[in-house]
Amino acid sequence: MLHDLFPPGIQHVLDLAGIFVFATAGALLAVRKNFDVFGICVLALVTALGGGLFRDLVIGAVPPAAFGELSFFVTPLIAAVIVFFLHPEVQRINRAINVFDAAGLGLFCVTGTTKAYEFGFGLTASAALGVATAVGGGVLRDVLANEVPSLLRDREMYAVPAIVGASMVAEFIAFDVLNAVTTALAIVTTFVLRLLAMRYHWRAPLAWNRRSSVAEEP
């Protein structure tokens, strides 16, 4: 479906852009955790390709795109090398991680939804796989870095923007209005919603009658 919205070259650039920003986020977290160069490369690869790999296995797109296109594998390594030499000061790393992560979130939830729909999945299942594409790599990254996955503790709404973006794409498909403009709108909405959530500390509701001031379990 994306090949109907964008020329093949543009589509490939968008795929690589999403991979690059997610890989950068993973590599920056590895730097913050004081991982060595191998750990930086592993987190970059897992963050960039994990969600798409899960989606492709579920929808039956084998071999997965991560193994069928050399540039998809090389791009995270390039991002890892760049971060290895040019990572920002330690106090700025967390902000950089969040900005890159928000950009990747917007790109991946859209591409994941459209690809699942192309393989014959319904709109709801396609949106769910779009969310999995967007957050799956981040979950694997956090587990490997010994962090509580953002998906489970949705501080400052990590999963919700991906759900919104994937749902927008599903609705655009349902009403036959999915085009380059509406696709860009879904990506930008996800990205901006995530940034606003970080800026104003929005978060998903806690358990009923649990005060937000109560300390969370470590």
Model confidence at 59: pLDDT above 90:
yes
Cα–chain-centroid distance for residue 7? 23
* Each residue's pLDDT tens digit, 95-133: 776 787 788 889 899 989 999 999 999 999 999 999 999
Polymer length of the chain: 218
Q: Determine which helix (DSSP H) or strand (DSSP E) holds 15, and give its type and residue range.
A: helix 8-32
CA distance 18 to 38: 22
Q: CB of 48 within 8 A of CB of 26?
A: yes
**Hunting for tokens 């990205």 — which residue is that?**
191
pTM greater than 0.75 (yes/no): yes
